[in-house]
Structure 1
């Protein structure tokens, strides 16, 4: 008997526009960051291509682009208007996806600034998530994996008993996660570059002390976050550093640009003749 392929939707958070003080502001000129051109295409287009190519994803939603910034893409997408902050945009996209298709088994949420993402990476992440029955899945990347591939990327890492990890830019949200504590999620998202602030939000001084001493385990961190958010969460360790290679600084933009140029060159060399 043929096994049915799980059906998911993808939501891309594309509403962030760097302020004048942001190092990327000269590259965006007041427009959303996902529209920065790379290789003749907006950065967002690479993410759309990676997600829409997945055999698990039936539809792609882009949240946060004002109408005047919605560019033609090679893949059909559904636009959702900006809702304010990142969490509100995520909620709106997830809600829209489930409204269009209540039978979805989950919604994959991605940022718009991971242009090195590819479809095999997306499929791998989804397959790892679907091995267990949790409400919320969050991709993370081990430091050695990230720095072996992108030694100059200068990511933010959390030191745990199992090693050091950087946050990824892929989440998978099951329907049950609709009951999540979104206000805490909003605060955690605002502190995503500060593991110490996040630890303080998740349970007072003790987890903070353990984190500072490197004695907080990944499992304990996940359990504390799950209890605080009101969901059953799981951290998914990704073997692909591209999942966490978001573009926050000009030098990271140049890393992405060089990598995409190398891919084009490699593809050209593989072509016969």
Structure 2
């Protein structure tokens, strides 16, 4: 059973740059990846519009190292002028940037965080995620492999295996209260190993690691156990839409996204 929709959710849109040059940005001749054209416009525009058009979203905070680039580009200048959008300075890591933002005290909970390369983000995804995440201190959107491959068998993702399937992140996160700070702090510690699933699991304790390796944990029960460890409510949101875990990370992703947009 889901909780009533909150009146105003703060959305954080990650639009930063990695320390090393991004291949998509280099190929497109733009300074940062969020400005890479996808479907005829900079990729950041579509998730930004999806957030601003959703009735549960209040303000949109764009976290980036180079706000000036978006204001200077005619295709994204509308973001700098929008009354419900503000830019905040990001650092080199997502978790450290988020912690700094939360410690500033002027970003109200609940918070929904997503990424500028989540080009296919839409109303249906946000409806499901906000409804199912509401009431949790922390929630993470994931897509089960069968859901994705049933429609897009050619798509390649990073998967974590549990007893209830193979799961991939959908780049949508929920921070429902200040209790989430403990999880974000841990995230900061393992951020450099985000593609190495066993290291992330190990950070939550040996039971979580062994549970995944021996397949004695479902992802849902694992999330609940992690929540209890930190004294909070942690929840998995298993997304219905396979498009929820397709982001614009590689050239083949962009080709797939543009084909979906054309349909």
Pair 1:177 & 2:179 matched: yes
1:138 aligned onto 2:140:
yes
Is the 1:149–1:241 contact (alpha carbons within 8 Å) kept by the matching residues of 2? yes
SS in 2 for 1:210: helix
Shift of 1:181: 4.4
Residue 84, structure 1, aligned to residue 92, structure 2: yes
Distance in 2 of aligned mates of 1:177 and 1:31: 36
Contact 1:181 1:228 in 2 (8 A): no
- Quick one: distance in 2 between partners of 1:80 and 1:124? 27
Whether 1:124 aligns to 2:132 is no
Matched, 1:115 2:122: no
- Which of the numbers 157, 161, 164 marks the counterpart of 1:162? 164
**CA apart distance, 1:187:** 3.0
Q: Is this contact kept in 2: 1:199–1:207, CA < 8 A?
A: yes
Distance in 2 between the 1:4 and 1:44 partners? 25
Cα distance in structure 1, aligned partners of 2:140 and 2:183: 16
Contact 1:110 1:169 in 2 (8 A): yes
Q: Work out the CA distance in 2 between the residues paired with 1:149 and 1:192.
A: 26
Structure 1: where are the runs of 5+ without partners? 263-273
SS of match in other structure, 2:150: helix
Distance 1:257 1:146, change over 3 A: same
SS at match of 1:108: strand
Q: 1:180-219 CA distances to partner (integer Å, 9 max, x unpaired)?
A: 2433111343322221121222213x53333223332223
Indicate the SS of the match to 1:99.
Answer: coil
Cα distance in 1, alignment partners of residues 130 and 219 from structure 2:
20
Give the drift of 1:167.
Answer: 1.2
> What per-residue deviation string (whole Å, max 9, x for no partner) do you get for residues 25-71 of structure 1?
53354622211111221101000011111110111110014133113
The answer for the alignment partner of 1:197 in structure 2 is 199
- Structure 1 residue 247 displacement after superposition: 2.1
| Over 6 Å off, 4+ runs | none
Residues 19, 92 of structure 2: 8 Å contact kept? no
> Residues 91 and 4 (structure 1 numbering): CA distance in 2 closer, same or farther, change over 3 Å?
same
Provide the alpha-carbon RMSD of the alignment. Answer: 2.5
* SS of alignment partner, residue 149 of structure 1: coil
